């Protein structure tokens, strides 16, 4: 999905019509630029040789979350270590920038689903999903983000789609290596 820019033209009310034109046939127009918020989404999945329960516990242990897409380091900020309300200061490299922020677990449905979001700054959400399959479980990782910032942000988002997909694929393979799975 690509971001789009929409230009809309709205006619001014009759009271704002140009009085110098005859019959009021020409009137002032207001042009508004509306940026449609579009998030970039990158997805990867991997089959792990362990149960959903084991994979879920390991993936949602944010003390060891340096495998997550773009995350370079993590530090616990207090409170629970996993589950809703778990908060960690992170350093991440995303869309050509070195970012710091706080990742927080906002959804936690063991052993099938977790949502981890950046609290402030860039709009970033990482969804972890787990389903039982023959011989283990399938883990799905989806990273969604929006840079914002008007036309420049749209250009950055478009340019970052390929690297974001590669980063999510790298993350799931790195996580799978913890369970002896080789790429």
Which pTM does this prediction carry?
0.73
Assign domain 39-177 to its CATH architecture. 2-Layer Sandwich (3.30)
Model confidence pLDDT, tens digit, residues 109-168? 999 999 999 898 778 899 999 999 999 999 999 999 887 766 777 777 777 788 888 989
Contacts of residue 163, defined as CB under 8 A and 6 or more positions apart, other chains included, come to: 95
Tokens (6 digits) for 129? 């999903």
For the chain, the structural domain boundaries read: 1-36, 39-177
Contacts of residue 73, defined as CB under 8 A and 6 or more positions apart, other chains included, come to: 66, 90, 91
Model confidence pLDDT, tens digit, residues 57-110? 999 998 888 788 878 889 999 889 889 999 999 887 765 667 788 999 999 999
Residue 3 CB coordination number (10 Å): 18
- Using a 10 angstrom Cβ sphere, with 0-12 exposed, 13-18 middle and 19 or more buried, the burial of residue 133 is exposed
- The SS3 call for residue 156 is helix
Tokens (6 digits) for 183? 């790429």
């Amino acid at each position: 999905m690509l971001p789009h820019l929409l230009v809309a033209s709205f006619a001014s009310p009759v009271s704002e019509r140009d009085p110098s034109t005859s019959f009021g046939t020409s009137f002032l127009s207001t042009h508004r630029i509306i940026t449609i918020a579009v998030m970039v989404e990158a997805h990867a999945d991997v089959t792990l040789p362990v149960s959903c329960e084991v994979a879920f516990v390991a993936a949602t242990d944010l003390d060891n979350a340096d495998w997550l897409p773009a995350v370079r380091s993590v530090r616990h900020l207090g409170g629970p270590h996993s589950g809703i309300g778990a908060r960690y200061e992170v350093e991440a490299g995303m869309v050509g920038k070195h970012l710091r922020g706080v990742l927080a677990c906002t959804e936690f449905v063991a052993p099938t689903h977790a949502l981890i979001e950046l609290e402030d700054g860039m709009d970033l959400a990482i969804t972890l999903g787990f389903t039982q399959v023959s011989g283990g479980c399938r883990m799905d990782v989806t990273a969604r983000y929006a840079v914002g910032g008007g036309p420049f942000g749209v250009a950055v988002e478009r340019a970052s789609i390929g690297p974001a997909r590669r980063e999510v694929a790298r993350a799931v393979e790195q996580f799978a290596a913890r369970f002896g799975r080789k790429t």
